[in-house]
A and B are shown apart, each in its own frame.
Chain A
Amino acid sequence: MQIETTINGKKITLEVANDELLSDALRTKGYLSIRQGCDTSCCGLCTVWIDGKPTLSCSTLAFRVKGKQITTIEGVQPQAEEFAQVLVAEGAEQCGFCSPGFIMTVLAMKHELKNPTEQEIIHYLTGNLCRCTGYMGQLRAIKKYLGGA
């Protein structure tokens, strides 16, 4: 079926199968930042924003984003780069496979939580399991990025 949706501010018509998942539809359309690290809705790598909310694109049927605003990391390049610089400075750069999903969650958290505590940061990021450089370096980077360091 054909659906009209908005991806990174651009109105797009997508041709999707009835049972196609959003992650697959986005990759087919060229948004290769979307990755899948598990097959059980647990790893968080496929995180995109749907109407501003961080969402698992691997568990969302593509036809359901009709009329919605999708944001991938390609749509928030300046903010993603800014955070990536802080990550690198803290020695928490990763192999890169899971970074888009992780960064999308961090940016969503910045929008959603005001002055989060360390516990709130950890809780918000629980759904991003893949962290090859370790959790502590990332936590330092996030605190610095949010201005809490």
Chain B
Amino acid sequence: MFTIEHVLQPETLEEAYQALHANISNTVLGGCAFLRLGSKKIGTAIDLSELKLDYIVEQGKEIKIGAMTTFRTIETHPTFHQLFNGVLPKSVTNIIGVQFRNVVTVGATVYSKYGFSDLLTALLALDTEVELYKGGRLPLEEFLQKSFPKDILTQLFIQKNARKASYQSMRNSLSDYPILTIAVSELNQSWRIVVGARPLRAQLAAQASEALSNSKLTIEDIEQAASLAVEELSFGSNIRGSAEYRKAMCKVLVKRGIMEVLQCK
């Protein structure tokens, strides 16, 4: 169990940011479900609850998701059932239980770049950007690839377009952490294949995506893209599965994801 020496419930993001940088042990709290599994000693716990970051707002051609929005809100929000073939609700719907999803937050899973994150995999297959308080707005892909100074993730932006998407995951039991997560999407013949829980964090299979985008989408093309994804990404072993098993499953799930997107209307 983690410990907390002081609690700060800031009224402004600037106050939160200053507190975050005041001491190396100061930590921004998300839902705390993962944090409680460890034994971190937190100097000042920065709780963003007062900053009204729990929202989903449609604004023009994009949707904004506040950092403190819970997974359950993503799961039940009508807009996300209509867009992208429901890929976002599908990605979170099997994470433990309703009570858990009412606790965990979007900001924590994205900022922490958790390898096991189902949601991160689905978000990366969409046109998603993150907003950091000081770092500003940048593509999710760039945020995941690079290191940044400590910052506060305030919200996500998702382009509201006609992207078709599919989410696939492999689990030992329905509500367990995933062994592997796959999200595939297509917009104007441009494909994105994302693989997460490798067990490393979600990553775009760039070569496989490009090959598929330039193909005629025959069954051979699809199988070749799935093989390319396995070749270009790295896979590791942990308690849930070996690297070899993940590679074998990756090929199957990527193929399944592409086939599903082709069926999407």
Contact = CB atoms under 8 A, between A and B. Distances in A.
Q: Do A and B associate with each other?
A: yes
Interface of A: 1, 18-19, 21, 40-42, 44, 47, 50, 53-56, 58-61, 63-64, 105, 108, 123-128
Given A19-B3, A19-B4, A56 B33 contact: yes
B219 interface: no
B72 A18 contact: no
Interface in B139-193: 174-175
B30 to A, nearest CB: 11
3 residue pairs, one from A and one from B, having the closest CB atoms: A127-B97, A19-B4, A18-B4
A59 B5 contact: no
5 contacts: A47-B99, A50-B102, A61-B4, A61-B29, A127-B96
B36 A64 contact: no
B93 to A, nearest CB: 7
A21 B98 CA distance: 19
A115 B226 CA distance: 41
B100 interface: yes
A128 B97 contact: yes
A18 B7 contact: yes
A1 B33 CA distance: 22
A131 B174 CA distance: 16
Interface size, B (range): 20 to 34
Contacts of A127: 96-100, 175
Contacts of B100: 41-42, 56, 59, 127
B172 to A, nearest CB: 13
A59 B103 contact: yes
B127 interface: no
Contacts, number: 79
Given A59-B33, A127-B97, A53 B102 contact: yes
A68 to B, nearest CB: 10
B47 interface: yes
B72 to A, nearest CB: 7
B107 interface: no
B1 A59 contact: no
Nearest to A43: B97
Contacts of A53: 72, 102
B32 A60 contact: yes
Given A41-B33, A59-B36, A61-B32, A105 B5 contact: no
B175 A126 contact: yes
Contacts of B6: 18
Interface in B39-75: 42, 45, 47, 49, 72
B96 A41 contact: yes
B97 to A, nearest CB: 1
A21 B5 contact: no
B147 to A, nearest CB: 28
Given A40-B37, A61-B29, A55 B3 contact: no
B245 interface: no
Given A41-B96, A127-B175, A18 B5 contact: yes
Given A18-B5, A126-B96, A126-B174, A55 B102 contact: yes
A57 to B, nearest CB: 9
B102 A1 contact: no
A58 to B, nearest CB: 8
Contacts of B42: 19
Contacts of B96: 41-42, 126-127
A18 B102 CA distance: 21
B98 A105 contact: yes
Nearest to A56: B99
B31 interface: yes
Contacts of B49: 64
Contacts of A108: 98
B33 A54 contact: no
A87 B97 CA distance: 22
